[in-house]
Amino acid sequence: MTTRVRKIISGVWLQTNYTSATMLAMDFISRVVQVLGEEANQPEQFYYLSFAGATFHGAAVVKANGAASALLRANSLGINPGGEVLCVPIPENKVLDLKFCDRLLSKAEIMEMWGEPCKTIREWEAEDLAEGTHR
């Protein structure tokens, strides 16, 4: 049976599928190094990171080569408030005001940035449960 587990190293959450109940720390570190190496070959672009636990902690927009490097960038800037993180690339055609980059954003600032109402992951999940769908 495959288990999906999120592991953390230096504040970076990586999601990995594996079949054993435990993952050796060195295996995880090797995987992080591998992912960062693979991302280094990708073009730099903006990433949106949303941080949450039981509640929303904030979001950030950073420029990076991939999700792991985006989270490392947020950590190095001191803008990772902790909790789980959702990291997605921002489409190149989306014009961003640079005042929203490289800092922790409130929900109001996120709505201002996107120009439309936004939902938390928990709100999406609740909506999916109510509709009986899965995204």
Q: How many domains does the chain have?
A: 2
Verify that 54 and 27 share a domain, yes or no. no
- The answer on pLDDT for 5 being more than 50 is no
**Mind listing the pLDDT tens digit for each residue in 92-125?**
888 889 999 999 999 899 989 988 766 666 777 7
Q: In this predicted structure, which of 11-15, 30-34, 59-63 has the lowest mean pLDDT?
A: 11-15
Verify that 79 and 100 share a domain, yes or no. yes
Verify that 24 and 86 share a domain, yes or no. no
Domain that holds residue 119: 45-131
pLDDT value of position 104: 97
| Strand ranges (E), the chain | 3-9, 12-18, 45-52, 56-64, 84-89
Verify that 24 and 77 share a domain, yes or no. no
Verify that 50 and 9 share a domain, yes or no. no
Select from 27, 112, 37 the least CA-distant residue to 68: 37
- The answer on pLDDT for 52 being more than 90 is no
